[in-house]
Amino acid sequence: MIQYLINRFKIFFSVAILFSSCSSSGETDIPPPISTDRIIEFSGYEWIVRTSNDNKVGPGPNYFSDSEDNVWVDDDGRLHLKIVRIGGTWYCSGVILKKPLGYGKYVFYVGNDVSKLDQNIVAGLFTYFNDEEEIDIEFSRWSDPDNEDSQFAVQPSHLVGNKVRYNLDLLTEYSTHAFNWQSDRIEFVSLQGHGLAVNGDNLIHEWTYRGDNIPPNRTAERLRMNLWLFRGQVPSDSKTYEMIIDKFEFIKEN
């Protein structure tokens, strides 16, 4: 009986971790997203599509939908995350990688100009274990049109030295963003166009974090990508928006 209870606790804990929500908006006491049966394949990996089953959940809080109107992979293999309005309700979107990847370089080839997202929208590329073990690349003005449009962050991001903000100033629709998560550092970079080779013409911003909040390499953290409304506020222009990821790449480094 004792072993049975232990096993049940382990299952419950794993599910709770898998479906916890992003902490970037600083919310508390928001219910986690509901498990969904919809799985998609993108860049050679399986991803769980988020849903909230018509309940508001974090981040936001917002409604999340696993509908093909919100999340899909097109004929060219590109992932689309979209915020859409159905009736009078706005639905956000997100995916969670089914398996943990651990230390290594996480590379995101973005296929549209995310600097043009509405000021109330947040696009996130991040690993998550809990609210204090999270690595973020985020595109948002956080409802202030005068804010810079992007940031690198290590949670808790309110601590001094755990976040840097910058502007993308994209020359085309395409950009590449990556973080290299290691035990003693996290190296972030944003680049014009697609590709990891850094030169004087394509570097947007880079930052190396060596602070006290580098997440340990666990077996339950998951990579996530989402598109959501800051504090649940609808787009200021009432238009639909999307983030397109042409490809995700994971590079294991020794």
Q: Which residues of 105-119 are buried (b: 16+ CB within 10 A; e: fewer)?
A: bbbbbbbbbbeebbb
Three-class SS of residue 240?
coil
Give per-residue pLDDT as tens, 3-41: 433 443 333 333 333 434 444 444 434 445 455 689 999
Owning domain of residue 16: 2-251
Helix (H, G, I), strand (E, B) or coil at 13: helix
Cα separation, 196 vs 57, in Å, equals: 35
The CATH number linked to 135 is: 2.60.120.200
Q: pLDDT exceeding 70 applies to what percent of the chain?
A: 85
* pLDDT surpasses 90 at 221: yes
Tell me the Cα Rg of the chain.
Answer: 18
Report the pLDDT value the prediction gives residue 211, as an integer from 0 to 100: 98
> pLDDT for 148-202, tens place per residue?
999 999 999 999 999 999 999 999 999 999 999 999 999 999 999 999 999 889 9
- What pLDDT is recorded for position 218? 85
Classified as helix, coil or strand, 152 is: strand
Stronger pLDDT, 17 or 237, i.e. the higher one: 237
Quick: pLDDT tens for 41-69. Answer: 999 999 999 999 889 999 999 999 999 99
Q: What span, in angstroms and rounded, lies between the C-alpha atoms of 21 and 55?
A: 14
Percent residues over pLDDT 90 in the chain: 82
Total Cβ atoms within 10 A of residue 178: 20
What pLDDT sits at residue 16?
38
Which pLDDT score is estimated for 55?
93
Residue 116 main-chain phi, psi, to 5 deg: -95, 10
Q: How many separate domains does the chain show?
A: 1
